[in-house]
Amino acid sequence: MTSISRNTALNTVEGLLGRLEQLNDIGVALSRERDITRLLEFILLAAKGITRADGGTIYSKVVDANSLRFEILRTDSLNIAMGGSASQPINFPDLPLVNASGEPNDAMVAAYAAIHRVTVNIEDAYSEPNFDFSGTRKFDQNTGYRSQSFLTVPMCNQDGDVIGVLQLLNALKPGSNEVTSFSKADQQLVESLASQAAIALSNRLLMKQLEDLFESFIGLINMAIDEKSPYTGGHCQRVPALTMMLADATAQHNEGPLAGFSMSEMDRYELKIAGLLHDCGKITTPVHVVDKATKLQTLFDRIELIDTRFEVLKRDAEIEALRRQLALRPCVDETAERAGLADVHNRLGQLDADRDFLRTANSGGEFMSDAAVTRVHQIGSHYQWRSVQGLQANFLSADEVNNLSIRKGTLTLPERDIINYHITATIKMLEKLPWPKHLQNVPEFAGGHHERMDGKGYPKGLTREQMSVQARIMGIADIFEALTASDRPYKLGMKLSQAISIMVKMKDEGHIDADIFDVFLRQGVYLRYAQEFVDPMQIDAIEPML
């Protein structure tokens, strides 16, 4: 029942129009909220506001467990705030929709509303015979509170399925703290709000499911790259993490050229997706190029073939020496025999030295000098060996000479072009997707991390002014991860001081953005990342570089 004074105050045309206008504003706000937890909290607070309820609870339906879960709880007069933005979480057990005997749990008012999809409006819980309010009475005894009027409304989506329950407690008379019942007008307004809220919540849950599906698909691509090469899967996870750390630090930086840079939650999500997809084009890169740990590696390391050739040369030298010895037997020339043995020992020693040199050159660990390249060519043509076809041939093939002469790293120019093509493939793949408005910059963010500030990068040769802040951030993240990564087949992970020293030179040479790199150092982004993702043995001091 509703009191006359309450009806008079609330049900005037002016009062109803005001509350309907408030309800309309709430509906607009509901459609804008993207975060599910904030959305649930907003629904509860809005319902409390338009009914002047002292407290309320919002439940979500747990389909798999057939229960209701406490999401947000508020009671103003007791200063109780649990769940949502409150610091105190809700630790109450879920409310089952069936009892121990498997029958509908009609004794609990929130469960009853969800099971039967009906609104329950109770004037006084203490005189209500149809529901179990023993827990409510116990709460009142412990707190001195008096739980009286309840309004419990199921939230149903477009298909009529219950996705949650909105429950309000103790309606207050206007201008006082006197508890009264929820009026018919209150009920209709809350039912309307619950309907709007359910649609907004259902849409947001659907969006979340689609986002989860999309991110899972991205994870599938990265897993395929990981299965193809164990040396890139970790990179695909670490670069996005470092990108977000640096982007957040840059957005918080309020000085200098980056003072105007900021990111909304949607901006952050867009950058996160770009980070996860920044190397998706590597799925097209041949695995023997991605995993090329040495200069002669293709499907296997061909240095073993060269080792075999050296062994053949050594045996040939020994056989030749023995033949000379046999030829001298009739003469019994001891001096000549000793000279022959000394000669073969010298030749064997030179062969061992040249073999060790080629094995070192094959590692690609250090920059190769002109003298070292010349020695590779000399070894390749100086020695002759008999192939399996019985033909005399140069010791090293032209391809082997070309690979062993690589100045830096393990990749030839054609192989480096193959590796570099992954970013072109990434851009092509991403530009084929029908990105929604809030993700339309993903191809540019993901495709720009190999560009340079001076325009000497690839694939488009963009300059700093032609690149977004996000792409420049990702470029720094990609380089630092690569320098410190310890799972590459061709190098060990660098210490922080060594990696930062290299990046300082890259900044001075116009390779990376100087302002963002300054944030990277001064805000300690490099250290936060290292503490989470880098081997502790690699973490050392870099203070003199700051």
List the chain pLDDT tens, one digit each, 546 residues: 344 444 444 455 555 555 656 666 666 666 666 777 888 888 888 889 889 999 999 999 987 889 999 999 999 999 999 998 898 999 899 999 998 888 999 999 999 999 999 999 999 999 999 999 999 999 999 999 999 999 999 999 888 889 899 999 999 998 888 999 999 989 998 998 888 878 878 877 888 888 889 888 888 887 777 777 665 557 778 999 999 999 999 999 888 899 889 999 899 999 999 999 988 877 776 666 556 566 666 655 667 677 677 777 777 777 787 777 777 666 566 777 777 778 878 888 888 898 888 888 888 766 788 898 899 899 888 888 776 566 787 888 888 888 888 887 777 777 777 777 778 888 888 999 899 898 999 999 999 888 999 999 988 999 999 999 999 999 999 999 989 987 655 556 789 999 999 999 999 999 999 999 999 999 999 999 999 999 889 989 876 555
Residue found by looking up tokens 């041949």 in the block: 286
Pseudo-torsion of CA 266, 267, 273, 274, nearest 10°? 160
Residue found by looking up tokens 């919540």 in the block: 201
Listed in order, strand segments (DSSP E) in 343-493 are 384-386, 392-394
Two tokens at 275? 């980070």
User: DSSP 3-state assignment of 353?
Assistant: helix
Length of the chain: 546
Q: How far apart are CA 395 and CA 386, in angstroms?
A: 9
From 242, 227, 225, 233, select the one nearest 481 (Cα to Cα). 242
The DSSP 8-state label assigned to residue 367 in this structure reads P
From 479, 529, 474, 533, select the one nearest 504 (Cα to Cα). 479
From 437, 151, 448, 431, select the one nearest 278 (Cα to Cα). 448
Task: Give 401-443 as a DSSP string.
Answer: HHHHT-SSSS--HHHHHHHHHHHHHHHHHHHTS---GGGTTHH
| CB 472 within 8 Å of CB 479 | no
Q: How far apart are CA 513 and CA 239, in angstroms?
A: 17
Handedness of CA 488, 490, 495, 499 (dihedral sign): negative
How many CB atoms neighbour CB 429 within 10 A? 18
Q: How far apart are CA 57 and CA 504, in angstroms?
A: 55
**Its pTM surpasses 0.75:** no
Give Cα 301 distance to the centre of its chain.
34
